[in-house]
Structure 1
Amino acid sequence: MIFAVLVAETIGNITIPLGITNVVLFPIVWALLIGAVISIIHRNMPGQRASSVQAQFTASALIQVAIAFFVVKLGFIIGESLPKIASAGWALVFQELGHFLGTMVFALPLALMLGIKREAVGATFSIGREFSVAIISERYGMNSAEGRGVLAEYVIGTVLGALFIAFLAGTMAGLGIFHPWSLAMGAGVGSGSMMSAAVAAITAQHPADAKEIAAFAAAANLLTTTVGTYFTLFLSLPIANWLYNKLEPILSPKRSVYGNTRGTSNEMNEALSSVSKAEHTPLWLMALTLIVSGSTALIGNWIATGTSPTVALPAMLIMGGIAICGYLIHHTLAFLKIPLVCWVSLLAILATAPFSPLAAYVSPLATKMALLPLVTPVLAFAGLSLAKDLPILKQLGWRIIVVSLVANAGTFIFGTIIAEIFH
């Protein structure tokens, strides 16, 4: 992970002109790719397959721990920007509708035309993150067609989601059609890695609005994470079922071509285990991961911004302390079923909100640590976990991969459009 981050930050941003827009490839992309290469090489070394797979599952479980610094930094930005966020009003509220309807408007009809049956409901009612897997598991069971669909969306989103959404967000930002704040709200899709990749891409195109982009993306993502579970359960899933019943007789071929995953395989069952591992990460492992990823981010921040690690260290210590406190609250109040990211974000917001007595001390220190270097270790962990999912992608086939990417595109595009309308 450390090697991937340092090489990625050293490479820096590379801009590729594509006709009417530009695509910026930034350090998180390099970190993901380098981590993926390392995981694939290690997996294929003689006698290393078993230990490599275990290491990949560990890396997958630690993604949500490593992202804690990024979540805290976003919380700081939300706290400082509360008046601006409040001024967005209905734009921020209604973009949630875009996030959850956008997945199925494009992707569900496409899935049916490609011959995918009930798997289409699981794959398109949301972007298929952890809470979506939990909903489908409870409602239908993971051996159902819907279970296979949501698992496909989860795996594909984990492997390809961040890269895809970064490319899409960068392309749309380069077109100059949408306000950066609208793009930022569209980026709050409920996935930390996807949101961070989209924020990096949008910021690269609009560097002057970097703080506002991060603030609105974080606020939208927090809203999606908290309200989104209920929105998905009571609105998106019923609508997906209704659309399926209406469109399936019209669009779907008589015979399903999606038969590769009948009888969920051991590899797909193993993939499920990585969904819940982060929720049960021991405190000592979380602390160790924070130390390693935080130290790496300090060096990455030094390379990217020129800020000495000793200058940025107080900010990292504060962020690490907030992350640990959030974890302890989450563990103590587990019966409330509130996601860990919500507790961490809330504590960070309270530390820098205009009414907070801590703001005068925390905010100046927080500026020493840039936002994007905090994302690079997260994507490095994602890359290191990738090789275990390649057999699953082969088993799922190209059709469900296309549907998954279209669902991810739909949630970002619709969220952005609705935010633009109400902005």
Structure 2
Amino acid sequence: MSMEKTKVKTLLEACLVVLIIVIISELIGIIKFAVGPGTVTLLPMLFAVILGILCAPSLLGKIIKPMKKIVNEDVIEFSGSVVVIALLPLGVKYGTLVGPNIVKIIQAGPALLLQELGNIGTIFIGLPIALLLGMKREAVGAAVSICREPTLGVVSEKYGINSPEGTGVLGTYMMGTVFGTIFFGLLGSLSVGTGLHPYALAMASGMGSASMMTAASSSLAAAAPAEMSDTILAYAATSNMLTGVTGLYVVIFISLPLINKLYDVLEPRIGKKKEES
């Protein structure tokens, strides 16, 4: 019984913290300002992520002592396990946008399917940088893709989560979880100023992460013309869904063999030598 009471207490504390963060974020509202040719749109979700990070006991807890009692390790562990559940209503909401725009989605043709190949770009950009920073086999896991759940599962199954490759993929996964929403929220609004079509940018927003896709597509929809809003969200939701399906096979059959081959070529040339003890 004491265990059940502890779980209920943890749930109530987590809900209280979330409620406070939501209220503060909504009170701040949407903030827009011009940066060069584009407009940066800061959505309440961005402020919610920042406030959530600040609530960590190691940060805000040092300043506001009562926060350590509310946001303790139990609350943090519980919150991490319910993130996927919390995102399900969001997925349903975006799913309802796909149906009314199905004709436009079909007209997009193979573009939505082929956009997954764009994730291979992480290999050619991320792997050399990782090797220059001194990473070894960790670079394979870290740079094989944007490293969301399908990639995490594939690398963990092939190499083991405690392997160097597993450490790399888990590191990228955690960085995406903490900073991905902030980064893509800013990128979504700034990308309008590049001159690329908003629908193409909407497809690019579907990178296999519900939170990142939501941040990117929402800020993109807010910065683009109002009549494009629903179509942008529909393209992003469909792209995200297809990435979750096709991304698994791209990682298995294309990305992993490619990055291993490229690692063998680049590591002897640009990799840092480990110092002898």
Q: TM-score, normalised by structure 1?
A: 0.57
Structure 2 letter corresponding to 1:34:
L
Q: CA deviation at 1:37?
A: 2.2
Equivalent of 2:114 in 85, 94, 109: 94
Aligned position for 2:101: 81
Q: Is 2:73 aligned against 1:53?
A: yes
SS in 1 for 2:72: helix
Task: Tell me which residue corresponds to 2:126.
Answer: 107
The one-letter code matched in structure 1 to 2:208 is: G
SS at match of 1:89: coil
Letter in 2 for 1:148: T
For 2:94 and 2:71, how far apart are their aligned partners in 1? Answer: 35
Tell me what 2:177 maps to.
158
- Secondary structure class of the residue paired with 2:39: strand
How far apart are residue 42 of structure 1 and its match? 6.7
Are 2:77 and 1:29 equivalent residues in the alignment?
no
Alignment match, 1:313: none
1-side partners of 2:262 and 2:185: how far apart?
A: 29
**For the residues of structure 1 that align with 2:192 and 2:36, how far apart are their CA atoms?**
14
Q: CA shift at 1:126, angstroms?
A: 1.4
Equivalent in the alignment of 2:212:
194
Partners of 1:43 and 1:53 within 8 A in 2:
no
Determine if contact 2:49/2:181 at 8 Å carries over to the other structure.
Answer: no
Give the letter for the 2:94 counterpart. Answer: L
How much has 1:11 moved relative to structure 2?
1.5
Which gives a bigger RCO, structure 1 or 2 (Cα 8 Å, sep 6+)? 1
Amino acid at match of 1:179: H
Distance in 1 separating the partners of 2:202 and 2:156: 31
Query: Which letter does structure 2 place at the counterpart of 1:85?
Result: I
Distance 1:217 1:46, change over 3 A: closer
Residue identity matched to 1:90: P
- Which letter maps to 2:104? K
**Match of 1:117, as an amino acid?**
K
Partner-residue secondary structure (3-state), 1:81? helix
Q: Please identify, of 15-24 and 46-55, the stretch whose mean Cα deviation from structure 2 is larger.
A: 46-55
Specify which of 18, 28, 33 is matched with residue 11 of structure 1.
28
Distance 1:74 1:46 in 2: 38
- Residue ranges of structure 1 left out of the alignment (5+ in a row): 257-423
2:264 corresponds to 1:245 = yes
Say which SS state the counterpart of residue 17 (structure 1) adopts.
strand
1:124 aligns with 2:143: yes
CA deviation string 1:295-336 (max 9, x = no partner): xxxxxxxxxxxxxxxxxxxxxxxxxxxxxxxxxxxxxxxxxx
Identity in percent: 39
* 1:160 CA displacement: 0.6
In the TM superposition, what is the alpha-carbon distance from 1:144 to its structure 2 partner? 1.2
For 1:47 and 1:31, the matched residues in 2 are separated by 16
Cα shift at 1:8: 1.2
- Residue type of the alignment partner of 1:240: I
Once residues 238 and 247 of structure 1 are traced to their aligned partners in structure 2, the CA distance between those partners, rounded to angstroms, is: 14
**8 Å contact 2:181–2:212 — kept in the other structure?**
yes
Q: Which amino acid aligns with 2:129?
A: L
Cα distance change of structure 1 residues 47 and 26 upon mapping to structure 2, 3 Å threshold = closer
Conservation of the 8 A alpha-carbon contact between 1:43 and 1:52: no
Matched residues, number:
254
User: Take 1:47 and 1:16, find their aligned partners in 2: how far apart are those partners?
Assistant: 33
2:41–2:189 CA contact under 8 A, matched in 1: yes
1:184 paired with 2:202, answer: yes
8 Å contact 2:33–2:39 — kept in the other structure?
A: yes
Q: TM-score w.r.t. structure 2 length?
A: 0.86
